[in-house]
Structure 1
C-alpha cells in the first residue's frame, strides 16, 4: 500500500520492506503557514504546517470530547471515558469510506507522533501531581490490613497467571507466535496491578475517599503502587541491560536516583517552605525551578533505560504534601494536566488502536481470557482477604471492585508498551476496550452497592430529649477559623457545665484538603500520647490550646477532645457525622458561614465550604444539629473591678417557642440546662395564634413538663405573645431583638404555623428556618447571636429502602 505525499506532512514518501517508510522533509520543518494564498506559492500551506494542523486537531478533539461528555452524562460514566470514546469515534472514522479522505487530511501521516508527544506532557504532569498528593510516610503508618490486602491482591493473580506459563514454556512460545508479541503476559501483569492515581480519581468521582472504605482502599493502593514501582524498575533494569557491566551501572544509578532525590530535593523543598511567609503564596520562581527539575529527572530516567515518569514520580513523592508548596504545585499544574493535555493524550492513545476485531481469532480469545481470569482471581483473593479483616460483605465487595478498576494510568502504560513494540495494534485495541468495560462496571457497581450515609440510618435517638436528668451532655463542636473558637466557648458557658451536670466536648477542626490525595483525621490526644509532650507543630495548635485552657478553667465539669480533619470540602460532612456517631453526641454545633461585625458589616463569608457543610450535615446527621450565627463581641465579657476581681455581666437569653414541634422541644431541653446558670437572664417567648388557641389550652391542661418547669422557674420569665401571621411575628421580633444578647430557636416551622406564615417567602438561608433567618438578617441591625436547633431527623424510611 502506497501513501500519497500530498496527504502527509512530508515532501516525499516511499515504502520500504514491511511497515517501514522512507520519508523526505524540509529542515527546518514548516511550523507556521503563510496563509491560504501565499502558502501555495512556497509550499507553506495551512495543512502542511505543524502548528496550524495541531491547533485544528486540538479543536476537533476538544469539541468531540465535550459532545461525548454531554451526551453520556445521564449514564454517569467515569470522567475519562468520553475522552476514550472520542478516540474510538475518530479511529472508526478512518475506516469509513465517506470520511476517510477528510480524516486523512486532518490527521495525516506524520502528525500522530507530534500530537502524542506534546500531549504526553499532560501524562507526565498528571503523574507528578498525583505523586505530590501522596503521603509517602503513610507507608510506615498504615495498618496491617492495608499491607495484607495490597500484597495478596498483587501476588495471587500474578502467581495464578504466570506459574502455568513458566512451567509450560512450550505454551508460552506458541502463544507468542500466535500473537506476534507478549499480549497475554502484558494483560496478566497489568491487570494484576492497582494504580494509586486511578483509584484516587475513582474515589474522588464517587465522593467516598473520606469514608472508612475509601481510606482503607487508598492506603492499600498506595502500598501496592510503591511495591510495584520498586519491583518493575528492577525488572526493567534486568531485562534491558545487554551485559553485566551495563546491568550493574543501571542498577547502581537507579538506586542513586531513589536515594539522592529524597536526600537532596526534599531538604530544598523544606527550605522553600521555611522561606515562604505564613499565609503568603510560594514564589513563582520556586515553582518554575521545581517544574524544570521534573523534566531533568525524566531525562535522567531515560538515560538508565527506565520510563520517563520514574524520576517524575520519585520527585513528586519528595515534595511535602499539602500547603503551602504541595498545594501551590497542584493549583499551578492542575489545568494543564487534567483539563487540557491529559484528555488529548487519552484520545490520541485510543486513536492508535486497531478496533477491527475478529472474535474468531485466537488472539482475541487468549487476550480476553487472560484479562477475565486475572480479574476474577484478583477479585476473589481480595474479597476473601477483606472478609478475613472483619469487614462487612458489601464493603468487602466494593473494595475488591475498586482495587480492580482501570483508568488513565493504564492507558499510559499500554501506550508505552505499544510504542516500544511490546504489543501490536490489535492487542492495544483489546486493552483499550478492557479498560472501558472494567471502569464502567466498577463505577456503576460501587455507586449502586455503597452508600456512605447508610451508617447514620437507625432508630436510636440521639438528641437532648433522650438524656436523663443531670446526665452527661456530649457536644460536637465544629470549627474552621480562629474566630469560631470564642463563639463556641461562649455557647459552652451558656450550657452551665458543673460537676453534677458535666459536659464532654469533642472539637473538630475541619481543614480543606489541598495538595494531598489522602484525607487525614488526627486525634490530638492520642497523637500527644504517642509523640510525647514535645510533639511537632500541629495544624490546629490554636484550637488545641484554647480548649485545653477551657477544660482547665472548668475542671471536673468539662472534658475536651480535639480532632483535626483534612478533607475535600464536599466530603467534610463525613468527618463531622462519623465523629458524632462514634462519640454518641447529642448535638452538633456548626458555625454559620457568615460572621457580622458590630456595625452590621460582613467580616467573613464562606459559602463554598461552610454553607455546603452545614446543609449536608442537616440532611444526614445522626443527632441533633445547631447552627450558631455569631455577631462580633455579642456576648458580655467579664469586667475588672477595683478589688481586682472578675464580675460577669448577665447574658440576656431568649427562647422563641411555637409549641408542638420536635425542634422546639429540643430548644426547651437546652433552656433547662441553661436556666441553672446564675449569669443568664432567661426569657421564654411562647408565640401563640388565636386561630389555634384551643389547641394551646389543651396543651396546657395536659401539661408539657418541660414548658411547665420553665414557666414556674424563679429565674425564668415566661411570656405568651399572640401573633396571627408572619408579619406580626416579624414586628414583635423587631421590638425585642435589641433586648437580648442571644436567641435560641427551632429550625423547622412548616407552613401550618400561622405565626410564620409569609416569613419563609423572604428567607435567604433556608438552613436557618423562617424565624432563625429573620433574626440573623443584617437588616435588624442587631448584635445578638442566634442558635438554630434541629432535632435528629428520622431516617427509618431510608433504612427500609437500603434493606430492600
Structure 2
C-alpha cells in the first residue's frame, strides 16, 4: 500500500458572487479507509469512517439528552437540538478535537446527508397530513389562522418603521429584523401536532382547534415565504422574470395534484385488503420523492419542498401511508435528522451577542419578544371573541407559539443565504428553545382536559327513567367485537316502552397520519383505509336496528386517534349524547379452547382512562363466546339465555342490578340474583345506614319490576374469601353471562380480602378479575357507576366552540 499524503485536504477563499467564498480541496481517494489504520493512518481523515463516527456521536448525544430532559416533557426534536448545541460547544473547547471530529471537509458531507435526511423527514410529515382537514376548517378558524401570522408581523413592521428616526441603527440590523419577525410569526402544522401528540392532547377540543388553525397559519406563512423567495431570486438574477418563476412553480403544483396524486391513489387501491404494499410500489414512491426534490431545486426552491408535496400526494393511514411512514421515518428522523440539528448548532455563535454588538442584539431580541407577545395576544383575543373558554384560549395561544424542525430548517436556510446575521440566527434558536420548552412544560402541568368531563347530574342506568332512551356508547376495536356488542344490546330488552339509543364508535389507532379524526359514518370516505370495516360494521347494526325498528336507534361514529388519547373521543361523544353507560370490550381475546389468544395493551390503556374519567357508568365486557357465539341471545330464540348477578352491595352493584333488571324483563332470559353477605359483621366494618337502605331499596325495586319473570333470588353467606371463591365456582354451571359490580365498598372487603394480591387486571375489580381468569368459562360484564368526583354544578362545557363551529 502506497504511503498516504500528510495533507488530506486544503481550504481557502475564492471570489464569489457577492463576497469571497470558502473552497475546500480534497484528494479523490480519501473516501474509504480500507483498513489503513493498521499502517498508522488517521481513519477520521476519510469521508465514510468520519461520517459514520459523526452520525454515531450525534445519535448518542441526542438520545442521552432526550432521556435526561424527558421529565420536563421536551420533544425529541428539542432534545436533539439542545444536545447537539451542548455537544458542539464542548467540542469547540479543544480545537484539535474539533478539527478531528468536524473538519471543514467533513462538514460538507455531513450537511449533504443531513439535508437528504431532512427531505425524507418532511416527506413523512407530508404523508401524515390529512388534506381533508381543510374541508372541515370553519371560516372562524381561517380568520384566526391568518391573523396568527399577519398580526405579529404587521405590529412589528409598524414599530420598526419609525425606529431609525428615534435610535441609531446599523443597516444590517435594520435589514435583518423584517425577516426575523416573519420567521417568528410562523406556526408550522408539524410543530403543533408534535406537541399535542407528545402531551396526549391530539384529539382533545384544544387539539382539534390548534391543528385546524395551525394548518391555515402554516399555509399563509408558506405562501408569503414562497412569494418573497421567488421574487427575491428572480430580482437577483435579472435574466429571470419573477412571473415566469412563479408560473413554473404553479405548474409543478398542478401536476402534483392532477397527475402524481391520482397515480399514487391508483396504486393504493390495487393493494388487496389486509396486505402490505409491494416493494415495487415503495420504490416507485421513493424514486418520485427524489425526482420531485430535483425539480424543486431547479425551480429555485429547497429540495424538501418537493419531498413535502410528494408526501401530501400519498394517502395517509394504513395500508399505504402507514407502511411508507414505518419504513422511512425511523432512519430519517432518528438517525439523519439529528445531523441537521448538529449543522444548525454549528451556526449558533454566542459571541455575536456580546461585545460592540450588544445594542443590535438587544434591538433584535426586543422585536422577537414583541412578535411572540403580539402572536400570543392576537390568538388569545380572537379565541375569546369566538367563545373559547378563558383557560382553553390561553393554552391555545401558547400552542400557536411553539416551533419545530421545519422552523429550525428555515432559520438555518435563511442564515446560509446570509439574509440574517449570526446574531439574529442565534437569538431565533435560543428564543425558540425557551418558548417551546416552557410551553410544553406548562401545558403538561396545568392543562387537564378531563375537567370538561364533569356533569351536572349522575348519568347512569339506575337514573334512567322507564320512558326515556337508555343511551349506550358501545366501543368497537375490531370485527370480533360486533356480534357480542349487538347481542348485549339485544339482551338489554329494547321495547317501545324501554327504548335504546346505541352510539357505536369504530376505534382505530392513529397510524401514518398527524391529526386525529372523529366523524360520523356518513363521512367515512375520508378514511379509505377504514372504509370497508366501518361499512361492514354499520350494516350489522343497521340490520339490528331494522329488526327493532320501533325500539332501537343507532348512530355511528368513526374515531382515529393514538391509544394514549383515544378516550377523549369516547368521552366527548358520551357527554354530547348524554349517555347512561359506556360499553368497552376487554383487552384480552380468548381462543376456542378457552386459552388467551391475544392481548392488546393499547385497548387496556383506553379502558383504564375511561374508567377514571368517564361522565357516566362504564361496563367492561369480557366475551368468551357466549355473548356473540352460538349460545348468544339471538341464537336462543327457543332456549333460555342464563344470566347470573352477584350482589354484595355498594354503588357499582346497584348499577349492575339496575342493568340486570332490564335484561330480566326480556323473554328467553333467566336471571339468578345471588345476594352475598358476610356471616359475621364487625361493628367497625358495618355498612353505613344510608348504604344499607339504598341496597335494600334496589333489591325491593328489582323484585317489583321482575315479578312474573324467570327470575330467582338466592341469599348466600360467606365468612371469608375462600368461601366466596367456592361460591363463585359453584355458579359456573348453568351460567352464560355473569354480571358484577367493580367495587363493593369497605364493608364487604372481608369477603374479597386477598384477591387483590393475585390481581392482574385491577380495572375489573377483585371479583371481576378472578372471573376473567382461565378457571371460568362464562362471559363477564363488570359495571362501574359514574364516580362522584366526576360530578360538578354550575359549569359551562369547554367544548362548545368546537361543537358549534
- Please report the TM-score for the alignment, with normalisation by the length of structure 2: 0.90
Query: Does residue 649 of the first structure (1) align with residue 639 of the second (2)?
Result: yes
Instruction: Find the counterpart in structure 1 of residue 801 from structure 2.
Output: none
Higher relative contact order (CA 8 A, sep 6+): 2
1:410 Cα offset (Å): 1.1
Q: Which of 331, 337, 340 is the aligned partner of 2:332?
A: 337
Q: 1:67 to 1:515 in 2, by over 3 A?
A: closer
Instruction: Find the counterpart in structure 1 of residue 548 from structure 2.
Output: 554
- Please report the TM-score for the alignment, with normalisation by the length of structure 1: 0.90
Instruction: Find the counterpart in structure 2 of residue 761 from structure 1.
Output: 757
Q: 1:73 to 1:260 in 2, by over 3 A?
A: same
Query: Does residue 738 of the first structure (1) align with residue 739 of the second (2)?
Result: no
Q: 2:21 & 2:662 partners in 1: Cα distance?
A: 86
Task: Provide Cα deviations, 1:113-171, integer angstroms capped at 9, x if missing partner.
Answer: 22122122222122111111112232233112210111111211222223455x66967
Secondary structure in structure 2 of the residue aligned to 1:84: helix
Q: 2:210 & 2:658 partners in 1: Cα distance?
A: 42
Q: 1:450 to 1:701 in 2, by over 3 A?
A: closer
Query: Does residue 460 of the first structure (1) align with residue 457 of the second (2)?
Result: yes
Structure 2: gaps (5+ residues)? 798-805
Q: Which of 349, 372, 393 is the aligned partner of 2:344?
A: 349
Instruction: Find the counterpart in structure 1 of residue 432 from structure 2.
Output: 435
1:794 Cα offset (Å): 2.1
Q: 1:472 to 1:634 in 2, by over 3 A?
A: closer
Instruction: Find the counterpart in structure 2 of residue 106 from structure 1.
Output: 101
Secondary structure in structure 1 of the residue aligned to 2:555: strand
Instruction: Find the counterpart in structure 2 of residue 320 from structure 1.
Output: 315
Instruction: Find the counterpart in structure 2 of residue 56 from structure 1.
Output: 53
1:797 Cα offset (Å): 9.7
How many residues are paired up?
776
1:638 Cα offset (Å): 8.9
**What pairs up with 1:284-433 in 2 under 5 angstroms?**
284-356=279-351, 357-358=353-354, 361-433=358-430
Query: Does residue 599 of the first structure (1) align with residue 589 of the second (2)?
Result: no
RMSD between superposed Cα atoms in Å = 3.2
- Of the structure 1 ranges 509-518 and 791-800, higher mean CA displacement relative to structure 2 is found in 791-800
Q: Which of 692, 696, 710 is the aligned partner of 2:681?
A: 692
Q: Which of 218, 226, 235 is the aligned partner of 2:219?
A: 226
Secondary structure in structure 2 of the residue aligned to 1:795: helix
CA contact (8 A) 2:473 2:503 kept: yes
Q: 1:690 to 1:667 in 2, by over 3 A?
A: same
1:77 Cα offset (Å): 2.6
Instruction: Find the counterpart in structure 2 of residue 705 from structure 1.
Output: 697
Q: 1:158 to 1:64 in 2, by over 3 A?
A: same
Q: 1:250 & 1:37 partners in 2: Cα distance?
A: 54
Q: 2:108 & 2:655 partners in 1: Cα distance?
A: 68
Instruction: Find the counterpart in structure 1 of residue 28 from structure 2.
Output: 27
Query: Does residue 478 of the first structure (1) align with residue 475 of the second (2)?
Result: yes
Task: Provide Cα deviations, 1:188-228, integer angstroms capped at 9, x if missing partner.
Answer: 11111111111111111111110111111111111222233
- Of the structure 1 ranges 614-623 and 337-346, higher mean CA displacement relative to structure 2 is found in 337-346
Task: Provide Cα deviations, 1:265-286, integer angstroms capped at 9, x if missing partner.
Answer: 1111122112111010011221
Q: 1:702 & 1:272 partners in 2: Cα distance?
A: 63
Structure 1: gaps (5+ residues)? 1-5
CA contact (8 A) 1:158 1:192 kept: yes
Task: Provide Cα deviations, 1:658-704, integer angstroms capped at 9, x if missing partner.
Answer: 12x11011111112212211211110011222112996998889981
Instruction: Find the counterpart in structure 2 of residue 154 from structure 1.
Output: 149
Q: Which of 568, 583, 586 is the aligned partner of 1:589?
A: 583
Q: 1:492 & 1:633 partners in 2: Cα distance?
A: 14
Q: 1:8 & 1:344 partners in 2: Cα distance?
A: 28
Secondary structure in structure 2 of the residue aligned to 1:499: coil
Q: 1:50 to 1:246 in 2, by over 3 A?
A: same
Q: 2:99 & 2:629 partners in 1: Cα distance?
A: 78
Secondary structure in structure 2 of the residue aligned to 1:559: strand
Instruction: Find the counterpart in structure 1 of residue 616 from structure 2.
Output: 623
Q: 1:696 to 1:456 in 2, by over 3 A?
A: closer
Q: 1:488 & 1:345 partners in 2: Cα distance?
A: 50
1:336 Cα offset (Å): 1.3
1:172 Cα offset (Å): 13
Q: 1:56 to 1:171 in 2, by over 3 A?
A: farther
Q: 1:700 & 1:84 partners in 2: Cα distance?
A: 62
CA contact (8 A) 1:727 1:758 kept: no
Q: 1:767 & 1:673 partners in 2: Cα distance?
A: 24
Q: Which of 593, 607, 617 is the aligned partner of 1:614?
A: 607
Instruction: Find the counterpart in structure 1 of residue 654 from structure 2.
Output: 665
1:354 Cα offset (Å): 0.7
1:34 Cα offset (Å): 3.2
